[in-house]
Structure 1
Amino acid sequence: MKLQFQKDALISSINIAIKAVPSKSTMPIMECLLLDASNGKICLVGNDTEFGIETVCRGEILEAGKVALDARLFSEIIKKLPQDNELSVLIESDEHFVTTIRCEKSVFKISGKDGNEFTMIPGIDRSNSVSLSQFTLKSFINQTIFSVALNESNKKMTGEFLEVKGDLFSVCSLDGHRISIRRTQLKESCPEMKAIVPGKALIEISRILSGGLKDEVMIYFTKNHILFEFDDTLVLSRLIDGEYFHVAQMLSEDYDTKITVNRRELLDSIERSTIFVQDNEKQPLILRISDGLLSLLISSDLGRMDAEVSIEKSGNDLMIGFNPRYLADALRNIDSESVSIYFTIPRSPLFIRDDEETYTYMILPVNFNADAI
């Protein structure tokens, strides 16, 4: 095998494919990137059997072939080549898979492995699909991924629920304390499709997506896998088994109190309050709602903060406590200038949503001792 690249094109493809390479594996070849030039194009492939990426790299095939190279070593060598991104990089492997990397006056020799032993990304059925802009998918992931559970006590909580229903596409996540939902209308109606996608896979997909409004991503749904196709790149993830939670039953349109508030002003006050919350603490931010005014109070061993924000209110006065970081996470991921927040009683969750319900955030309250205020 003999290939020639420009350094910047090679680095770009390595940075994409290496996201699917495990740092440690019981199978050493899984810690490799596959360099495959056996089918008329140059592909870089990373695959840990649960999550795989294949991306086409611009370059010239001088001799066809394939080789698997230690991903970290290969990546470090290419990144440490001279700084000029337009430099030519020549990669050549012999019959024993010893691979030579040449760039200007630098020559590296590393041991590779037989590319035929590498586990390729499996082909999947592409009959059930939906098309979105990369901007929409990237935004939806970033605006919901923070409420995915980090532990695996309930594996379904470590993933996000992607659903297509008619002409509506939605992304939902929950961690037992909050729910995040984003929805958008599709250009056309589609068959019903759904999948629980691991949060770790979606984080990597978000990092790869360019996020362009006019750039498209195709999503293919199957029973066990989901495939994302965009920009000469394929990303395949195994799904989390099981039925997702009945989120619709957890949401309510009823409310006793509604406030409309400047999002930035409220977020700034909440972020200031987190100064007094240490990492492992669950100190509540207490909200006191009255006509025209939202009072915020937080008190801990570090100190105390009192703040006030102007609001429009309809319904009852209320005093209720929440984890301030959960509130900040939701508000930080809303673009509108003002937000509407709905409450019922102090023991019930709040809902942040717009009239069109393009976003819905639910946050459970935190108990506090009102006498200690």
Structure 2
Amino acid sequence: MKFKCNKNKLHEAIANVSRAVPAKSNIAALEGIKLSLSGDQLELIGYDLAFGIRTVLNVESEDSGDLVVNARLFSETIRRMSSDELIITVDEKLNVNISGGSAEYDISAMPAIEYPDFPSIGAENSLSIPQYILRNMIEHTNHAVAVTDTKPILTGELFDLEDNIFRMVAIDGFRMAIRTEHTPISEKISFVVPSRTLNEISKLLAKGDASAEDEAGEQDPEKISKTELCQIYAGEKNITFEISGYYVVSRLLSGEFHNYKSSLPTEFKTEVIVKTREFADSIERCSLLINEKNKCPVRCIFEEGSVKTDCKTVIGKVNDVVPAEVNGEPVTIGLNNRYLLDALRACESDQIKIQMTAPNRPVKIVPVAGDSFMYLLMPIQLRN
């Protein structure tokens, strides 16, 4: 088979599908990319049996055929070619000739029959969401995903849809992150997507659609073009994300996700309104004295008119004050600096509300207006 294609478009497609190619595998074919040519359509697939990416590239050809080529070698070969247009020829012995400009490569390939079948799209449940919104939801919750597999279900994020509300939830046992968006879907749908899958698709998702901006420069969801939407198809065991010509397929995590709604505080005795950036800066100043060898919670004293923060380790000590509106009972609470910073950096509003019941109860962080995010942090016991 033989085809002609644009170098940059081919390399971009290779780089993206290679995200699903394992560096090492007991199945040699999985270390490669499957290429399937049918006329002027070249399909590229990367797959590791649990996670896969597929796309189709327009090329110039009237041939057909398929093969598997080593992902890393193929990517580097294409990247280093000097010509913008490449001609790729494959003979009967699966020798791949790549030519363009002054350079010419010959590399070996494997038969496509050795490559596992790519999963079909599961469409039992489907939804459509602007890419920039899904990207935002992932980026603002993935910090709270469990990094150990003590409870495997928590290494993913819950997609929870019910009554026209879409919540993405991450929990690691010490904190919780929830991002909320409205959706036209009213029925109850829930599934858990591996964190690795979400991290990879976030790299494919657009940050925004310039043509959909309103007069204030904000995204108007009603103006989002179809190419800037992400289509999600969820089956019983697999999920597919369709993103700008790429199909990302992943296994869903099985098991019972934590009943997060039962963990949400409904009452509080202290409510604090503080500027997000000022509070984050204060915690960052305290964090200079905290590391793996010198661990210490940040003491936060919420009292009338201010939030006082302090920290003391063998390196030194720091005291800081941030103006705040404090309503209710004064409270002193210890918090993990990194967990708190992760939450503050994910907050989208200039000001936040911090709600507390007692020094040994979860701290709740929400926007001053609306319900787009919620972060829960477990406190740390302070030493006198």
Residue 198 of structure 1: aligned partner = 194
Give 1:224-303 correspondences, 5 Å limit.
224-279=237-292, 281-303=294-316
Flag the 1:168–1:99 CA change in 2: closer, same or farther, 3 A. same
Task: Deviation per CA, 1:205-241: give whole Å up to 9, x if none.
Answer: 0011123342100111111011101211100000111
**Which amino acid is the alignment partner of residue 7 of structure 2?**
K
Residue 100 of structure 1: aligned partner = 97
| Matching of residue 3 in structure 1 with residue 17 in structure 2 | no
Task: Deviation per CA, 1:163-196: give whole Å up to 9, x if none.
Answer: 221311111001110000001001x234322111
Flag the 1:190–1:15 CA change in 2: closer, same or farther, 3 A. farther
Give 1:137-148 correspondences, 5 Å limit.
137-148=134-145
Residue 136 of structure 1: aligned partner = 133
Task: Deviation per CA, 1:231-290: give whole Å up to 9, x if none.
Answer: 111000001111111000110121010000000111111112111111355310000111
Residue 123 of structure 1: aligned partner = 120
| 1:35–1:66 CA contact under 8 A, matched in 2 | yes
**Which amino acid is the alignment partner of residue 139 of structure 1?**
N
CA distance in 1, matches of 2:186, 2:98: 48
Q: Which moved more, 1:53-62 or 1:11-20?
A: 53-62
Flag the 1:39–1:89 CA change in 2: closer, same or farther, 3 A. closer
What secondary structure is seen at the aligned counterpart in 2 of 1:362?
Answer: strand
Give structure 1 stretches of 5+ with no counterpart. Answer: none
Query: Structure 1-normalised TM-score?
Result: 0.95
| 2:124–2:236 CA contact under 8 A, matched in 1 | no
Q: Which moved more, 1:274-283 or 1:320-329?
A: 274-283
| 1:131–1:217 CA contact under 8 A, matched in 2 | yes
Task: Report the identity percentage.
Answer: 30
| 1:195–1:226 CA contact under 8 A, matched in 2 | no
| Matching of residue 331 in structure 1 with residue 344 in structure 2 | yes
Residue 28 of structure 2: aligned partner = 28
Residue 363 of structure 2: aligned partner = 350
| 1:292–1:313 CA contact under 8 A, matched in 2 | yes
**Which amino acid is the alignment partner of residue 309 of structure 2?**
L
CA distance in 1, matches of 2:353, 2:198: 29
Task: Deviation per CA, 1:14-49: give whole Å up to 9, x if none.
Answer: 111000001110000000011111375211100011
Give 1:43-54 correspondences, 5 Å limit.
43-54=43-54
What secondary structure is seen at the aligned counterpart in 2 of 1:191?
Answer: coil
Task: Deviation per CA, 1:296-324: give whole Å up to 9, x if none.
Answer: 00111111111100000110001110001
| Matching of residue 159 in structure 1 with residue 176 in structure 2 | no
**Which amino acid is the alignment partner of residue 11 of structure 1?**
H
Residue 209 of structure 1: aligned partner = 205
Give structure 2 stretches of 5+ with no counterpart. Answer: 210-223
CA distance in 2, matches of 1:138, 1:14: 22
CA distance in 2, matches of 1:98, 1:344: 69
| 1:128–1:191 CA contact under 8 A, matched in 2 | no
CA distance in 2, matches of 1:89, 1:343: 62
What secondary structure is seen at the aligned counterpart in 2 of 1:352?
Answer: strand
CA distance in 2, matches of 1:291, 1:91: 72
Query: Structure 2-normalised TM-score?
Result: 0.92
| 2:122–2:239 CA contact under 8 A, matched in 1 | no
**Which amino acid is the alignment partner of residue 371 of structure 2?**
E
What is the Cα-based RMSD across aligned positions, in Å? 1.4
Give 1:316-327 correspondences, 5 Å limit.
316-327=329-340
**Deviation (angstroms), 1:358:** 1.4
| 1:9–1:58 CA contact under 8 A, matched in 2 | no
CA distance in 2, matches of 1:270, 1:24: 41
Deviating above 4 A after TM superposition, structure 1's stretches of 4 or more consecutive aligned residues are none
**Which amino acid is the alignment partner of residue 47 of structure 1?**
Y
**Deviation (angstroms), 1:9:** 0.4
